[in-house]
Amino acid sequence: MPTLEDARNVARFMHALSGGPDVRRKAAARELARRDPFDTNELVGYLISLSRGGWGPATCVLSDFMAALEQEAEHIPHVDTLRRLAHVQSLDTVADLFAQGPAKLEMDADAAARADATAFSQSLGHLKTKARLTKDPDALARMATVSDPSVLRNVLINPRLTEELVVRIAARRPARPEPLIEIWKSPRWSVRHSVRRALVFNPYLPPEIGAKIVPLLNTTDLRELVAAAGLHVALREQASRLLAQGPAVGQGSAAVPMPRRGPHGPD
C-alpha cells in the first residue's frame, strides 16, 4: 500500500523530469501500470489531496496523471477496473475521475458537417495545411470553427495561435466533442488555466474528459462549477466532493487523510 511519503516521492520524481508534457504523461502511465489497481487508486487519491493542499510538485504533476488515465489507457492494464475498485475502497474523489455517459448537450454530427461544408469549400487537406501555416489571424480564427478534429489539431500547432483564441474555441457552443478533446490533448494549451476553465464549463464536453479536468481547478472554479446548473451533474458532484475534502495539506508536515481501503485492507 503506498504511503503519503511514497506519493510525495513520485511527485518529486515526476516534477523533476525533463522533456515536456508528453514525457511526463508517459512516465505517469508507467507509474500507474506497474502498481496493482488498489495501490494505483490510493496513489492517485494522495496526489489529489496533496494538490488540493497546494503542494507544488503534486499540483504540477497531477495533470500528467489525469492525461495518462485518458490518453494512455491502453498502456495501463487495469485501468478498466479502477473505477469499480475506487468505490470499494471508498475513494470517491478517485471514482469520480471515471465519469461516463453523454455530454450534457450534444451537437448532431451531420449538422456539424453541413455547417463545415457551407463555410468552407476547400478540401480537407487544404484546410489542414492552411490551419497549420496561415499567418492571417482572421483566417486562423475561421479555421478554428471547423468541427473536423484534424483541422483543429493543425490550428493548435500554428505559432500565431493565441490563448485568447483557444479559450474561444474551447467555450464555443454548440460544439462537437472531438475538437474539444483535441484541445484537452494539446500539450501546449491544456496546461493553461483559462483553457481548462473554458473546457470544463462547456456543456458539450464529454464528462469522461471533464472529470479529468475538475481536480485541476482551483477552489473558486469548483464553487462556480457546483453552482452551474447547466453542466453535467457528475462534474458538479465531483466538484462538491473536492470542496468538501478541503485543502487538507500544505507544503509542510500537515496531515493528509489516509485513503480508505475497503475489505481488502485497513479502513
Residue 173 identity = R
Average pLDDT of the chain is 91
* Residue 25, number of CB atoms within 10 A of its CB: 23
- The CA distance from 190 to 181, in Å, is 10
Tell me the C-alpha to C-alpha distance, in Å, between residue 8 and each of 42, 46, 132, 251, 252: 13, 9, 40, 10, 12
Question: How is residue 39 written as a grid cell?
Answer: 495501490
- The CA distance from 253 to 144, in Å, is 47
Domain boundaries, the chain: 4-98, 109-205
pLDDT tens for each residue of 212-229: 999 999 999 999 999 999
pLDDT value at 267 more than 90: no
Question: How is residue 251 written as a grid cell?
Answer: 507544503
Q: Give the position of cell 464528462.
A: 207
Predicted model pTM: 0.90
Sequence-separated (6 or more) residues with CB below 8 Å from residue 181: 149, 206, 209
The dihedral through the CA atoms of 192, 193, 199, 202 has a sign that is negative
pLDDT tens for each residue of 41-80: 999 999 999 999 999 999 999 999 999 999 999 999 999 8
Asked if 42 and 90 touch (Cβ cutoff 8 Å), the reply is no
What is the share, in percent, of the chain residues with pLDDT greater than 70? Answer: 92
Burial class (CB in 10 A: 0-12, 13-18, 19+), 78: middle
